[in-house]
Amino acid sequence: MTESKTMKSMQEEVDAYIGQFKEGYFSPLAMMARITEETGELAREINHRYGEKPKKKSETEKEIEEEIGDVLFVIICLANSLGISLEEAHGKVMEKFQTRDKNRWTKKEDS
């Protein structure tokens, strides 16, 4: 099992990886296109595994975990290139859900 990482440490790790290349980060628009591409690959795997569209015999099985990792990597790249802390972004979205949407769904009863 791998060690737990904070989102900040993941952003730093990706930044160090990308920083070793002259090209650096792609443009935000190119990364958005890549997020779309990687999300499509994830959707394809989910559909094959849980949906009504089985893979062709010639197609290889991919791990959903790997596809989620690909999406996460590109999101981290996009955030880094724009100077966005994903920990702060997560905090803001959780605040929104805990206030605006706090009564939106039926909560489980305490046992």
Domain count, the chain: 1
Residue 17, domain member (yes or no)? yes
Asked whether residue 111 carries a pLDDT value surpassing 70, the answer given is no
What pLDDT score does 46 carry? 92
Q: Is the pLDDT of residue 102 over 90?
A: no
Residues in the chain: 111
Q: Within a domain: residue 95?
A: yes
Whichever domain contains 93, its CATH number is: 1.10.287.1080
Quick check: 95 pLDDT over 70? Answer: yes
Rounded distance, CA 37 to CA 70, Å?
10
Token pair for residue 42?
């994830």
Residue 51 DSSP label:
S
CB contact set of 107 (below 8 Å; sequence gap of 6+): none
Domain of 69, in residue numbers = 7-99
| pLDDT computed for residue 32 by the predictor | 98
Asked if residue 106 belongs to a domain, the reply is no
pLDDT bucket at 1, cuts 50 / 70 / 90: low
Q: Is residue 64 part of a domain?
A: yes
**Is residue 63 situated within a structural domain?**
yes
- Per-residue model confidence as pLDDT tens digits over 4-61: 999 999 999 999 999 999 999 999 999 999 999 999 999 999 999 898 877 777 877 7
Does residue 40 lie in a domain region?
yes
Contacts of 45 (CB under 8 A, 6+ apart): 62, 63, 64, 67
Q: Is residue 110 part of a domain?
A: no
Average pLDDT over residues 74-92: 98
Using CA atoms, how far residue 48 sits from 11, 44, 55, 61, 65, in Å, is 31, 6, 6, 9, 14
Query: Quick count: other Cβ atoms within 10 Å of Cβ 75?
Result: 19
| 105 in a structural domain | no
